[in-house]
Structure 1
């Protein structure tokens, strides 16, 4: 027999759609269930027989599609969930500079502390610029695990100041360096009426993104503004050398010269809807069988994704894949796949820091009970009569990217309902965070398309369920954006 609790789902990114990489490094996915259907498609012969019998069914194609469901946690780079989000958005993450030994010691990061205040890397060090905040983790010596402000860099070095590093000539397999923000010198960063300004730091050199989210202020008093209200979240609307324009500013935002402060600002990676077809091979292993069966699905592309945030519930996701070919085998693609990530599961309400509509947090009297986000790429299978001996489609086509939001609020006033009747464009963003990591979903241009308020029965609340649809936002050139911050204070 097969036990669902002994089912393992593994993943590897494909370079060529439908082709599993040779000797693949599989990574274990986290899930609450899957409904992937890999099966032949058959038809019945129309041949006439005098004995009224039927010939054997004839296979004419193969179906390879279905959903994987899960609970929301931070999408670690290169993990299955992170790659599936890229497939769903049809675009790869725009990541901040990072250096990761990723399982092989002394490979990408080759030294720490042999030269004072210096981490050595194999290549690409110049992507880190002065002012970047770099987070170092996974080193053997505790002193080498810290967050520091980059002072300089070369192609093979990243240099800080007064870091107190311990010499480590072969950093371990888990060693990692990641840009997680930026920091000004004392008094350099100020809060203006429209965002942030600097005297020395060049905002255009930091890799910031229009429509991206920043968290302003560190945990230490010297690393944040004296105006407490300024130490919060905001969205970037324009980037100039000495000025960073922001909207969705924290309530109570005020000008602050930042005198004597080395203000820290945190930012992360971003993905938004694009044009790429990004496939993967998925392998389901039914490990409770005496001889495990492995069902392999190739060319799997995320066609639809649903993300739900509901009061008093775990935040959840469901991604539906559409694929090309597959096989059933008794041999795993990778006998020792990477373990699943362990980042904590996030809950709506408890971990949702803010749900905002038109730049203002939704609150009383229209308290929000649930939000659901859906991305549909309108995929379609392509292919004719194959000549390579395989069964299944040969390619996958994409239609429009349709993004909708379903939101249910208490009907406390007519404010939201009026926007439906007036067809007033608006925007919505959802921020969820836990243990110093965050995801921010941004839908910069939406129009409400449906909604009605009803008194459904005695002793019940009147609710307002609203549906909205995304359209092109000229500022961000997107329907939907997702920011992930690997670390913030």
Structure 2
């Protein structure tokens, strides 16, 4: 027998659709179940025999598809879940600058110089003056923390005032990741519709329209004096001297920022695109005397369902469609990288905000559940293969369909009125834990279905609503996802 508790599911991203990279570096995936299908397709012969017998069934194809489901946790870049989200959105993350030794000491980050607070690293997206970065995994404790870049550079940025201790060969776990920006004392000012600056050029920081920011740090000197001006907001326009914002915190007002070195946090962004992003997924049944490994190639995410239900763990189900597969007793990678360990998130407890049309949804129309469904409408393109393999040869993409289903209490006709009027609106949902956050957004949504009934005595009257996304001209998107690797409450 084989025990489900001994399943090892690992993943590697493909460069060419349906082709596993040579000597792949596999990574273990986190999941709570899977019903992936790698199965042959047979047909019966139509030959007529005078003995009323049948010829052997004939194999004509193989099927590679099916869902994987799991519990929501923050997805580090390069992890299976992060790659699967890219496959679902048919686009790549727009990442803030980072450097990561990724398990090999002195490989990408090659020196920390204490006398000058200079980092030496391999080239990549440049660090920019004014950005703040999280340093982690360094051998010397003083080199771990949040530090402001004072001189930007791709290979030798300066973080003057950080007080680094020299490390000639930074550790294998060493990582630097931009998590926001910080103004000089008194430079960042809260105005009626955003933040202005005299010294800091907002257009240089890597911000994008539609992105979410967290205004204010933990220390009193890093947050605005007006409490209501510290919180989450969405960027709707970026100019050198001004960030224009909407979805502003309740009670937002003006604040001169006098004496404050305001911190503002932001992260990576993902929105729907046109790419086909595939992976090879391998299942290993590790309790067998000689484990069986099933590898499925060209696996592309067709549909994603994300459930946020009160008093429940936030969950996801991703359904894949793929090209070819194999089963063997030899793994593609006998020692895949360990799975991520970021904390599992729960609805209600970890959901910091659900907003509709820019306003937090509360009484009397409380929300008890939100389900986001994203579908790529993939289709398998088959042919008579000449490579000796069986299965589809290519994948076609249809429309990028996004629906949002909300379970609401029928406390007023505010939401029902929008349903009947066909009024376009939007929703966003923020979930956060351990100073990491994800913000899901449908920037333009029209309710298309909803009905309220008094189903029985002694029950609450509810209004379940379903909405469909359409093109939002501000963000040029149907769905948006932000992930902040670090922010301060």
What secondary structure does 2:63 align onto?
A: strand
Q: Deviation per CA, 1:80-102: give whole Å up to 9, x if none.
A: 00000000000000000000111
Instruction: Single out whichever of 53-62 and 89-98 deviates more from structure 2.
Output: 53-62
Partner of 2:67: 67
Q: Does 1:5 pair with 2:10?
A: no
- 1:256-405 maps to which residues of 2 (within 5 A)? 256-405=255-404
User: After superposition, where does 1:92-241 map in structure 2 within 5 Å?
Assistant: 92-124=92-124, 127-241=126-240
Q: Tell me how far apart the structure 1 counterparts of residues 124 and 76 of structure 2 sit (CA, whole Å).
A: 21
Aligned-partner SS, 1:5: helix
Query: 1:239 & 1:163 partners in 2: Cα distance?
Result: 29
How many angstroms apart in 1 are the aligned matches of 2:463 and 2:153?
56
Q: Secondary structure at the match of 1:153?
A: coil
The secondary structure found in structure 2 opposite 1:328 is strand
Unaligned runs of 5+ in 1: none
Is contact 2:304-2:319 (8 Å) kept? Answer: yes
Normalising by the residue count of structure 1, what TM-score does the alignment of the two structures yield? Answer: 0.99
1:1-26 Cα shifts (integer Å, max 9, x gaps)? 11011001000000000000000000
Cα distance in structure 1, aligned partners of 2:153 and 2:370 = 46
Aligned equivalents of 1:455, 1:124: Cα separation in 2: 59
SS of 1:348 mapped into structure 2: coil
TM-aligned CA deviation for residue 153 of structure 1:
2.8
User: Residue by residue, what CA displacement relative to the aligned partner does 1:138-185 show, whole Å, maximum 9, x if unpaired?
Assistant: 001101101111000333212112212111111111110000000000
C-alpha displacement of 1:456: 1.1
3-state SS of 2:467 partner: strand
RMSD of the alignment, in Å? 0.7
CA contact (8 A) 1:114 1:169 kept: no
4+ runs deviating over 4 angstroms: none
Find the aligned partners of 1:185 and 1:373 in 2 and give their Cα distance: 40
CA distance in 1, matches of 2:45, 2:97: 59
- Report the Cα distance in structure 1 between the residues aligned to 2:387 and 2:161, rounded to whole angstroms: 62
Q: What is the alpha-carbon distance in structure 2 between the residues aligned to residue 212 and residue 297 of structure 1?
A: 35
Question: How far off its partner does 1:114 sit?
Answer: 4.7
Equivalent residues of 1:473, 1:479 under 8 A apart: yes
What TM-score do you get using the length of structure 2 for normalisation? 0.99
Distance (Å, rounded) in 2 between the aligned partners of 1:423 and 1:156: 52
Residue 83 of structure 2 corresponds to which residue in structure 1? 83
Q: Please name the residue that 2:473 is paired with.
A: 474
Shift of 1:383: 2.1
Contact 1:37 1:64 in 2 (8 A): yes
Is the CA contact 1:41–1:62 (under 8 Å) kept in the aligned structure 2?
yes
| Cα distance, 1:115 vs structure 2 | 4.5
Which residue in 1 is equivalent to 2:50? 50
Unaligned runs of 5+ in 2: none
Residue in 2 aligned with 1:421?
420
